């Protein structure tokens, strides 16, 4: 029995606290060794030093809304949402903000809006996703077609390292003295730079990538900051972030176009890109069928003859330029699409996009024997291969008798897939594993990445050698060893730990048993996307204090 870490905050290793943190978004249920809720930066430093002394793994966690399994594990889950000093400082003149890692995107944008500013990347989880979590996965969202992912908006980071140091990094500045950065500078950085040509060749040539460590971004910028974004808490724990902000566009409009064939996707996206859209979202036939068949929300959301629907957002600084962009967009779409609907105001655009938001409540109402699982949910392929990828997933899923629902960010070739397996059917786990293997092989063949914006987590770590090759994975290991030589932070994330990805699931006969009330509460969080809810509240007080 290990002594508890010297924290002012909470440390709990009772069964109920462990159960409350055994799940997050995604497919896994893994009981942690314990849960720690550091009160401040000093607490976190003490926790890291304690973990180093006793060889205990730490799993950093914000809202727990990431889907790849990087927020659950066997070690001590470190809940960062209760740390003091979670500030939001906005500098209007510099269009800059400094925030605590536990602040949500919604909180930052609410504060920035009063200055006419925003952080443009907008993952759908932005209401509850913490900014530290968004940095960890290099999050993006629907507007990435225009604004890119989070990496390009990060100006500074404060990082707690495996050596128990707090390091402040500023983009473009010489990194401060620290043991971790010294090891990286001496051991890993020269080898990475020497392999720049190999990195350019082997990294996926896609518009988005959140898989592996961002060696390509580091080679291009020379800034270690770019390497830490998207590292999923495996190289250190981010506690504070400096952000570049952007003015909020004055006006917004929307377009909805129906396509009779997915073969037209590439042509349609190419036509749209010259119009400067801020979002191009795809709803596949599988998505449209799910919505149309639902008795509660399907009325009025049926698209006869459509194999795909594109939802386009346009943002401009004045009504005249917005109207010009809207006319140009519809003119380019009409020869391709069999129907085009337009909306000139933000409110009308929201109504056009109602269909995009209709699937979540439907998936939440699925019976327990038909669960929505995010397994092959984040692949990004070259735009020219998007139609082929969609058709492949449809055929492969059908051959394994697993219904799927597909949607995504068409402007980036980035497709999300929800599997709907019948979890009471014998052998369903093997069918899911086989489907994952087949789709991964196709993604690699198309020159794609298994993760466009959600990170590898535990789910996709096993694919990295096939995607990048052994030489690049060897560089990944150099990076990891430089920053975290003891392997304290998130073992099994990005670099695999050996277990198969379809294991330790939150559903099925082999799922770990949890107290019934906690299990039901975790399921309700999943159904309602209630990831802003404190998991510690589910556990209640420790038994000794009752």
Which pLDDT does position 546 carry in this prediction? 41
What does DSSP assign to residue 512? P
Ramachandran quadrant class, 447 (left: phi over 0; alpha: psi -120 to 50; beta: rest):
left
* Helix/strand/coil for 426: coil
Cβ atoms of residues 393 and 439 within 8 Å: yes
Q: What is the pLDDT of residues 89-99, one digit of tens each?
A: 999 999 999 99
Q: What is the pLDDT of residues 285-332, one digit of tens each?
A: 999 988 887 766 655 566 778 999 999 999 999 999 999 999 999 999
Count of other CB atoms within 10 angstroms of residue 423: 18
Mean confidence (pLDDT) of the chain: 94
Alpha helices in 419-515 (DSSP H): 428-445, 464-468, 470-483
Shared domain check, 104 and 242: yes
Count of other CB atoms within 10 angstroms of residue 177: 9
Q: What is the pLDDT of residues 161-178, one digit of tens each?
A: 999 999 999 999 998 999
Give me the mean pLDDT over the 528-534 stretch: 90
What CA–CA distance (Å, rounded) separates 58 from 431?
A: 32
Q: Position of tokens 């992912």?
A: 149
220 within some domain: yes
Shared domain check, 260 and 199: no
Which pLDDT does position 358 carry in this prediction? 77
Shared domain check, 170 and 216: yes
What CA–CA distance (Å, rounded) separates 435 from 491?
A: 26
Q: What is the pLDDT of residues 214-273, one digit of tens each?
A: 999 999 999 999 999 999 999 999 999 999 999 999 999 999 999 999 999 999 999 999
Query: CA 501, 506, 509 angle in degrees (round to 5)?
Result: 95
Could you give phi then psi for residue 154, rounded to 5 degrees?
Answer: -90, 125
Count of other CB atoms within 10 angstroms of residue 305: 9
Domain-terminating residue out of 247, 281, 298: 247
Give the pLDDT band of residue 153 (cuts 50, 70, 90): very high
Count of other CB atoms within 10 angstroms of residue 546: 6
* Helix/strand/coil for 401: coil
43 within some domain: no
Shared domain check, 292 and 183: no
Shared domain check, 287 and 225: no
Instruction: List the CATH number of the domain containing 336.
Output: 3.30.70.2190
Shared domain check, 114 and 234: yes
Which pLDDT does position 545 carry in this prediction? 46
Which pLDDT does position 301 carry in this prediction? 63
Q: Which structural domain, as residue segments, surrounds residue 143?
A: 88-247
120 within some domain: yes
Q: Position of tokens 């128990």?
A: 164
Cβ atoms of residues 387 and 404 within 8 Å: no
Shared domain check, 323 and 227: no
Q: What is the pLDDT of residues 455-469, one digit of tens each?
A: 999 999 999 999 999
Give the pLDDT band of residue 34 (cuts 50, 70, 90): very high
Considering only CA atoms, which of 137, 71, 81, 78 is closest in space to residue 104?
A: 81
Give me the mean pLDDT over the 382-394 stretch: 96
Distances (CA, A) of 251 to 108, 128, 145, 193, 276: 21, 26, 18, 44, 14
313 within some domain: yes
Torsion over CA: 29, 30, 32, 33 (sign): positive
280 within some domain: yes
Indicate the number of domains in the chain: 2
Shared domain check, 211 and 145: yes
Higher pLDDT, 84 or 48: 48
pTM, 2 dp:
0.94
Alpha helices in 222-333 (DSSP H): 224-228, 265-273, 285-292, 319-333
DSSP line for 170-190? ETTSPPPP-HHHHHIIIIIHH
CA 521, distance to chain mean position in Å, is: 23
347 within some domain: yes
Q: What is the pLDDT of residues 464-504, one digit of tens each?
A: 999 999 999 999 999 999 999 999 999 999 999 889 999 99
Cβ atoms of residues 309 and 337 within 8 Å: no
Shared domain check, 219 and 277: no
Give me the mean pLDDT over the 16-27 stretch: 96
Shared domain check, 121 and 186: yes
Instruction: List the CATH number of the domain containing 119.
Output: 3.30.465.10
129 within some domain: yes
Distances (CA, A) of 181 to 166, 174, 184, 215, 386: 11, 11, 5, 16, 40
Q: Pairing between strand 251-259 and 308-316?
A: antiparallel
Which pLDDT does position 166 carry in this prediction? 96
Domain-terminating residue out of 362, 393, 425: 362
Shared domain check, 194 and 302: no
What does DSSP assign to residue 489? B
Intra-chain end-to-end CA distance of the chain, in Å: 23
Per-residue b/e over 245-254, b at no fewer than 16 CB within 10 Å? beebbebbbb
Q: What is the pLDDT of residues 338-378, one digit of tens each?
A: 999 999 988 888 888 888 877 777 887 788 888 999 999 99
Domain-terminating residue out of 344, 362, 380: 362
Encoded tokens for 15: 């069964």
469 within some domain: no
Cβ atoms of residues 435 and 397 within 8 Å: yes
241 membership: H or E segment, kind and range: strand 237-244
Shared domain check, 348 and 314: yes
- Residue 304, C-beta contacts closer than 8 angstroms, at least 6 positions apart: none
Is the pLDDT at 42 greater than 80? The verdict is yes
- Residue 165, C-beta contacts closer than 8 angstroms, at least 6 positions apart: 45, 178, 179, 180
Encoded tokens for 320: 């005249």
């Amino acid at each position: 029995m290990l002594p508890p870490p010297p924290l002012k905050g909470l440390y709990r290793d009772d069964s109920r606290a462990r159960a409350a943190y055994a799940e997050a978004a995604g497919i896994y249920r893994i009981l942690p060794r314990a849960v720690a809720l550091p009160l401040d930066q000093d607490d976190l430093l003490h926790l890291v030093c304690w973990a180093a002394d006793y060889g205990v793994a730490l799993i950093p966690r914000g809202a727990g809304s990431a889907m790849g399994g990087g927020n659950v594990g066997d070690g001590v889950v470190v809940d960062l949402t209760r740390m003091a000093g979670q500030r939001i400082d906005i500098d209007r003149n510099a269009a800059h903000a400094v925030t605590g890692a536990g602040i949500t995107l919604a909180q930052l944008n609410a504060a920035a809006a009063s200055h006419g500013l925003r952080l443009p990347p907008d993952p759908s989880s932005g209401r509850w996703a913490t900014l530290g979590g968004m940095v960890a996965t290099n999050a993006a969202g629907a507007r990435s077609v225009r604004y890119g992912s989070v990496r390009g908006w990060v100006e500074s980071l404060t990082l707690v390292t495996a050596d128990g140091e707090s390091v402040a990094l500023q983009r473009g500045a010489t990194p401060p003295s620290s043991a971790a950065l010294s090891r990286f500078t001496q051991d890993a950085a020269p080898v990475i730079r020497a392999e720049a040509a190999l990195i350019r060749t082997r990294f996926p040539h896609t518009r988005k990538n959140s898989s592996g460590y961002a060696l390509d971004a580091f080679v291009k910028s020379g800034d270690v900051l770019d390497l830490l974004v998207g590292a999923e808490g495996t190289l250190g724990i981010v506690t504070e972030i400096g952000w570049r902000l952007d003015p909020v566009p004055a006006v917004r409009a929307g377009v909805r176009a129906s396509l009779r064939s997915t073969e037209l996707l590439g042509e349609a996206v190419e036509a749209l890109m010259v119009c400067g859209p801020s979002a191009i979202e795809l709803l596949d036939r599988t998505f449209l069928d799910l919505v149309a068949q639902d008795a509660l929300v399907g009325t009025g959301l049926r698209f006869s003859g459509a194999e795909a629907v594109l939802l386009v957002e346009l943002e401009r600084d004045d009504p005249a330029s917005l109207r010009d962009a809207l006319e140009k967009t519809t003119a380019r779409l009409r020869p391709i699409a069999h129907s085009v609907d337009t909306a000139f105001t933000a409110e009308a655009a929201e109504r056009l996009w109602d269909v995009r938001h209709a699937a979540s409540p439907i998936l939440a109402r699925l019976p327990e024997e038909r669960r929505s699982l995010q397994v092959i949910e984040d692949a990004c392929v070259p735009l020219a291969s998007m139609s082929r990828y969609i058709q492949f997933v449809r055929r492969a899923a059908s051959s394994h008798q697993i219904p799927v629902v597909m949607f995504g960010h068409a402007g980036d070739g980035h497709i999300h897939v929800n599997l709907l397996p019948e979890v009471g059917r014998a052998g369903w786990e093997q069918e899911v594993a086989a489907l994952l293997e087949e789709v991964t092989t196709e993604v690699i063949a198309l020159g794609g990445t298994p993760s466009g914006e959600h990170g590898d987590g535990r789910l996709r770590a096993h694919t990295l050698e096939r995607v990048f090759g052994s030489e690049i994975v060897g560089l990944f290991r150099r990076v990891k060893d430089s920053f975290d030589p003891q392997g304290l932070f998130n073992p099994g994330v990005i670099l695999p730990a050996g277990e198969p990805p379809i294991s330790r699931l939150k559903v099925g006969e082999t799922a770990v048993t949890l107290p019934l009330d906690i299990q039901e509460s975790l399921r309700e969080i999943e159904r309602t996307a209630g990831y802003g809810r404190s998991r510690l509240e589910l556990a209640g007080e420790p038994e000794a204090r009752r």
